[in-house]
Structure 1
Amino acid sequence: MTPRTTGLLLLLITAINWGATWPLLKFIMTGLPPLTLRAWGATATALVLLGVSLLLRTPLGVPRGQRGRLVLYALLNITAWMAFGTLALRWLSASEGAILAYTMPVWTALFAWPILGEKPGLGRTLGLLIGFGSVAVLFAGRGAAMGLDKLPGMLLILSSAVLFALCSVLSKRWPLRLAPMASVTWQMGIGALPMLVLAPFIEHADIGSVSGEVWFWFGWMVVFSMGVSYFTWFGALSRLPASTAALGTLLAPVLSVAGASAFLGEPFGLREGGALAGVILAVGLAITQRDRPA
């Protein structure tokens, strides 16, 4: 299997796991407040990954010159993406949150050109337009009033998308010289710290009222949506152009809408099906294109 094929497979696994995340978050928030569930989830994931790393004897040492970069990437990849994105669900539905979050490929493509010299060819440009257009049409079809009542959520979710995209490009330009398992473990642990500190000051978690079903899906999120998906995302990013990897994640919001329909009762009709077809076409155009020098 070539590195490109492996990268595409890892990207598909990432998109599936991230697509399932948004309906799960909305459900888990019926028992746990948003920042708390992300803080605890990231911490639990870091501890699980630490245990696996020790079991596999993965070197966890961080060279002195890599430490500042590691902290920056953790804050962008984990803290900003998780905290801002999950807090936004106070104002947005699961589908709305997922759709807006995955404007991320637009920002990635914009950052990748000046920082990485990934000048988009015609196919990738068309893929970007079709993919983002499909997501925009999908959002327009939700029938949600985009008024001031949703503005805080929109700003939070778009901020998380922009910062995550920036980190994806920066990590391609200046990668961490760590084993993938060590990189994910450290980033998850460091990224959890600001959320752990802030959560008690802005929300209250009533642990005694949390149902067993909520805890089950919380555990599922820790293992798959956070642990496995970040590992596969970094693996895909190391094997694919940043803009292609980011565009591939456009599958996630469509899967989120399908999941929200199945588990949360949100609608799934012709508009959603058309968006799915458009996103698949966009991803196909992106992954068949080779890079062009700037």
Structure 2
Amino acid sequence: MSTSARTRAPPRSAAVRGFGLLLITTVSWGLNWPVIKFLLGVLPPFSVRVLAAVLGVGLGFLVAAVRHERLVPPRHQWARLVISALLNFSSFMISATVSMLWLRASEAVIIAYTLPIWAALLAWPVLGERPTRLRLVALVLGLLGVIVMMSGQPVDASWQKLPGVLCALTGSVMFAFGAVTSKRWPLAMPPVAGVAWQVGIGSAPALVPAVFEHPNWGAAPASAWICLFYLGTVPVIIAYLAWFRALKLLPASTAAIGTLLVPVIGVVSSVLLLGDAFGPRQIAGLVLTLTGVALAARR
């Protein structure tokens, strides 16, 4: 192995930790699909996002205080903090939600999970991570698996759905750009406090549409409150902490390809928790996606 190859490849122990953290992230985000699907049948979308963010921010600052982390960002980090929050949090929290005003969930997720394409493309000029042939094959297999599994109904490319397509695509590109820029210019902040600030800042744009919603909190069943607690703690705080740490240990494009497990876990958990169908199409998509992720994990 050349000296340059050694420099670029993470140590094996770091790679193992990185993939372990990536697994925590993908499982947490994958379980979001049935949880959010259930909650949207009970409460309006932006109110759900805002309340989950309040829980996440509160938990994040509480944990940061217990860890004796500095809670106030350094003055020179504010601009980077806001940009990171908008790219890493607002992208999926708001853009993906808004896209479903025009698109079915299966359509939105196909577009949203083109993010490994954008991450692989952006990682080249921003990080100098030139995509290898094996990683490109992994990318194609993973994306093909997502499309096969999630496209129960073909995407309608009519003009009426164009706003939703643009919203989902914007969220995907923003998140991918956030992944590579977070690796290139990481925040100089303690980890938990940094995530708590990003959740709060990134969720702030959802406050505007949430004001015009009229949720009936008193009518929400206990199961909805349990789901809200999960939504505001595990995927928002724990998963993002694991995600940012994984980005430091793995190539950004590899980490992004690993997130293709999110829709796989989303489908499987929906089958188990909501009784969704799981037939040959879902099985084929699962095999393709897992093959792509396995190839991406090879050195």
Flag whether TM exceeds 0.5 (same fold).
yes
The question of whether the paired residues in 2 share the 8 Å contact of 1:42 and 1:191 is answered with no
The question of whether the paired residues in 2 share the 8 Å contact of 1:95 and 1:257 is answered with no
Q: What secondary structure sits across from 1:176 in the alignment? A: coil
Give the superposition deviation at 1:12: 0.6
Alignment partner, residue 253 of structure 2: 243
Pick from 118, 140, 145 the counterpart of residue 134 of structure 1. 145
Deviates more, 1:88-97 or 1:249-258: 88-97
The question of whether the paired residues in 1 share the 8 Å contact of 2:57 and 2:197 is answered with yes
Tell me the distance in 1 between the aligned counterparts of 2:129 and 2:32. 29
Give the superposition deviation at 1:151: 4.2
Tell me the distance in 1 between the aligned counterparts of 2:257 and 2:174. 16
The question of whether the paired residues in 2 share the 8 Å contact of 1:95 and 1:256 is answered with no
The question of whether the paired residues in 2 share the 8 Å contact of 1:35 and 1:87 is answered with no
The question of whether the paired residues in 2 share the 8 Å contact of 1:59 and 1:182 is answered with yes
2:278 partner letter: F
Give the superposition deviation at 1:267: 2.1
Tell me the distance in 2 between the aligned counterparts of 1:280 and 1:213. 31
Alignment partner, residue 279 of structure 1: 289
Work out whether 1:269 is the aligned partner of 2:270. no
Q: How many residues align structurally?
A: 287
Tell me the distance in 1 between the aligned counterparts of 2:238 and 2:96. 19
Work out whether 1:199 is the aligned partner of 2:210. yes
- Cα deviations across residues 155-195 of structure 1 (Å, max 9, x unaligned)? 32222111111111111111111121121111011112221
Pick from 103, 117, 135 the counterpart of residue 114 of structure 2. 103
Q: What secondary structure sits across from 2:71 in the alignment? A: coil
The question of whether the paired residues in 2 share the 8 Å contact of 1:112 and 1:243 is answered with yes
Quick one: percent identity of the two aligned structures? 41
Change (3 A) 1:263 1:91: farther
Alignment partner, residue 15 of structure 1: 26
Tell me the distance in 1 between the aligned counterparts of 2:106 and 2:147. 12
Work out whether 1:49 is the aligned partner of 2:55. no
Tell me the distance in 2 between the aligned counterparts of 1:271 and 1:262. 17
Pick from 78, 81, 86 the counterpart of residue 92 of structure 2. 81
Pick from 241, 265, 284 the counterpart of residue 255 of structure 1. 265
Give ranges in structure 1 of 5+ residues lacking alignment: 290-294
Tell me the distance in 1 between the aligned counterparts of 2:150 and 2:102. 15
Superposed, which structure 2 residues align to 1:166-245 within 5 Å? Answer: 166-201=177-212, 203-245=213-255
Give ranges in structure 2 of 5+ residues lacking alignment: 1-11
Give the superposition deviation at 1:198: 3.6
- Cα deviations across residues 61-112 of structure 1 (Å, max 9, x unaligned)? 3222211010011112112220111233344454444343222111111111
2:80 partner letter: R
The question of whether the paired residues in 2 share the 8 Å contact of 1:23 and 1:264 is answered with yes
**Cα RMSD (Å) of the superposition?**
1.9
The question of whether the paired residues in 2 share the 8 Å contact of 1:26 and 1:94 is answered with no
TM, length-normalised to structure 2: 0.89
Alignment partner, residue 125 of structure 2: 114
1:166 partner letter: F
TM, length-normalised to structure 1: 0.91
1:208 partner letter: G
Deviates more, 1:155-164 or 1:86-95: 86-95
2:182 partner letter: S
Q: What secondary structure sits across from 1:268 in the alignment? A: coil
Question: Would you identify which runs of 4 or more consecutive aligned residues in structure 1 move more than 6 Å?
Answer: none
The question of whether the paired residues in 2 share the 8 Å contact of 1:41 and 1:221 is answered with yes
Tell me the distance in 2 between the aligned counterparts of 1:255 and 1:219. 20
Tell me the distance in 2 between the aligned counterparts of 1:145 and 1:174. 36
Tell me the distance in 2 between the aligned counterparts of 1:98 and 1:29. 16
Tell me the distance in 2 between the aligned counterparts of 1:224 and 1:90. 26
Give the superposition deviation at 1:123: 0.8
Change (3 A) 1:52 1:208: same
Q: What secondary structure sits across from 2:36 in the alignment? A: helix
The question of whether the paired residues in 2 share the 8 Å contact of 1:74 and 1:188 is answered with yes
Q: What secondary structure sits across from 1:61 in the alignment? A: coil
Tell me the distance in 1 between the aligned counterparts of 2:108 and 2:267. 10
Tell me the distance in 2 between the aligned counterparts of 1:265 and 1:96. 20
Pick from 19, 35, 47 the counterpart of residue 46 of structure 2. 35
Alignment partner, residue 165 of structure 1: 176
